[in-house]
Structure 1
Amino acid sequence: MSVHPLQRLASPARSASLLLHAAGIASFAASFVYVKWFPQLPTGSVGGDFQFLTILGLALSLATFVVGLVADLSLTRQVFEAKNFLAVCVAPLEVLISVLYWGLCAIDRDLIYPPGLDLSLPLLPDVGFHLAPAVFLALDLLLFSPPWTIRGQEAMILSLCIAFFYWIWVEYCFSYNGYYPYPIFQILTTQQRIFLFASSAVLMTGSTVVLKRLYHLFNGIVKGTKIE
């Protein structure tokens, strides 16, 4: 099966590509098992732990790697292309989640975890939720994927759509539960929350651009191609 000239390693393939996708699936599944054992929000709340952007991102990462594994096992080009399509959406989101989480924790963990409640995670699960997905997806891009063709304007529209839908989802859950999954949402006014989501969309667009540039720094560029 032919691959893009810039793609560093064979994929789909029943070799290193399959091992990466299997390892990612194991990591993501372990995080979901942890959530099952130690739910972070009250039982019966609308949305449950899927109110967290982290959990939504983890579910999308799991879906992306399951599709990637199916492509490796079946050696089907169409399934491989579906994995790459998902990765364009999910990898920048996971980078955004990692940047926001570790950045806010460095400023004040009470912005992430409700004051007075011991919901902070041990180190290994913390890394599993808030760093491993970004690392796995970045490795999949750099080693086993063709270069992304998404342009900056398209990335911005995609990021705004994701931010908008998450905002609507959070407000919907709040209308039933009476609380937000992250204390920072409770602290901010409606206008400030809108600004936060819009800023997050800009950061997600930036993560798309950075991932594209890292790809070309690592794998090179096709002569005559302009990087956007």
Structure 2
Amino acid sequence: MGRSPKAELSRRHPLQRLDSPSKGFSGAIHVLGLISFYNSFKFLVDNPNIINESFGWHLQYLTILGISISTACFGFGLLADITNSQTVFVVKNYLALVAAPIEIVISILYWGLRAIDETLVIPPDLPKPPILADFGFHLFPAVVLTIDNLFLSPPWPTQPINPRASLVSLLMSTVIAFLYWFWIELCYSRNGFYPYPIFALLSTPQRIVLFAGSGVIMWVIGVVLRGAYRSLNGVEDMRAVEKKVL
């Protein structure tokens, strides 16, 4: 026998704002996100340039790495919506812990640097993407991942549930930032150029500061998202949590 709607609803975390996994709004958001991510990848294939033939392909760009993680996140999210699998839903939530801050960092850095000087992020010998494609790469992913995190996910690990959550998030963000730096340097050693012109303008110490700063920004964004979640959805009663554990 199948579960009743009431039983299914009870599986949702009490602080989660909207039903997820579900075939309603949750499924629609995940489908919408996946369509956008697909169109972004299709744009890269349909509009080849020197990056397509270089080592690392477009995965040299943090933007494309972010969309790849977001695609996996929303892929698991949609699968959970279809199957109502809590295991798949948990996988989606863990991927979202990484995907959402990365996408927001990408949006902040890209549009911030572009406002200063677009040649810092767009090589002068490459055409600028159309505005809708640009939004698909550098804005829409941050929007849908934020919606997913704030409205379609259970609360992130926070104090006092996990007293080390903030430190763990900071370390994770820093590791991700420096892994990307190592990857970029590997691509540079093979290709002879950086995907983002700003990297070529900086010395090694300056690049270290840039990537360390990006890791800190990612951590701060995680803190802000957790704070926004608490403001929108409330804080779980720890006495109730302890009773569940006991």
Interval containing the TM-score (normalised by the shorter chain) = over 0.9
Letter in 2 for 1:53: L
8 Å CA contact 1:114, 1:182 repeated in 2: yes
Q: Alpha-carbon deviation of 1:40? A: 4.7
Q: Which of 24, 31, 34 is the matching residue for 2:33?
A: 24
Unaligned runs of 5+ in 1: none
TM-score (norm 1): 0.95
Which residues of 2 match residues 62-141 of structure 1 at below 5 A? 62-115=71-124, 117-141=125-149
Q: 1:145 to 1:42 in 2, by over 3 A?
A: closer
8 Å CA contact 1:40, 1:49 repeated in 2: no
The answer on 1:143 being equivalent to 2:151 is yes
What corresponds to 1:159 in structure 2? 173
TM-score (norm 2): 0.88
Letter in 2 for 1:49: H
What corresponds to 2:162 in structure 1? none
In 2, the alpha carbon distance for the partners of 1:19 and 1:51 equals 30
Larger radius of gyration: 2
Q: Alpha-carbon deviation of 1:219? A: 1.2
8 Å CA contact 2:80, 2:88 repeated in 1: yes
Letter in 2 for 1:211: L
Which residues of 2 match residues 174-213 of structure 1 at below 5 A? 174-213=188-227
8 Å CA contact 1:42, 1:48 repeated in 2: yes
In 2, the alpha carbon distance for the partners of 1:43 and 1:62 equals 20
Letter in 2 for 1:29: Y
What corresponds to 1:58 in structure 2? 67
Letter in 2 for 1:22: V
What corresponds to 1:3 in structure 2? 12
8 Å CA contact 2:21, 2:80 repeated in 1: yes
Letter in 2 for 1:127: F
8 Å CA contact 2:73, 2:96 repeated in 1: yes
In 2, the alpha carbon distance for the partners of 1:43 and 1:140 equals 31
* CA-based RMSD: 1.3
8 Å CA contact 1:41, 1:49 repeated in 2: no
Q: 1:217 to 1:98 in 2, by over 3 A?
A: same
Deviation string, structure 1 residues 125-182 (Cα, Å, up to 9, x no partner): 0110001111000001111110100521111111011111101110001001000000
8 Å CA contact 1:21, 1:66 repeated in 2: yes
Q: Which of 48, 60, 72 is the matching residue for 2:57?
A: 48
Letter in 1 for 2:57: G
Q: Sequence identity, in percent?
A: 47
8 Å CA contact 2:52, 2:58 repeated in 1: no
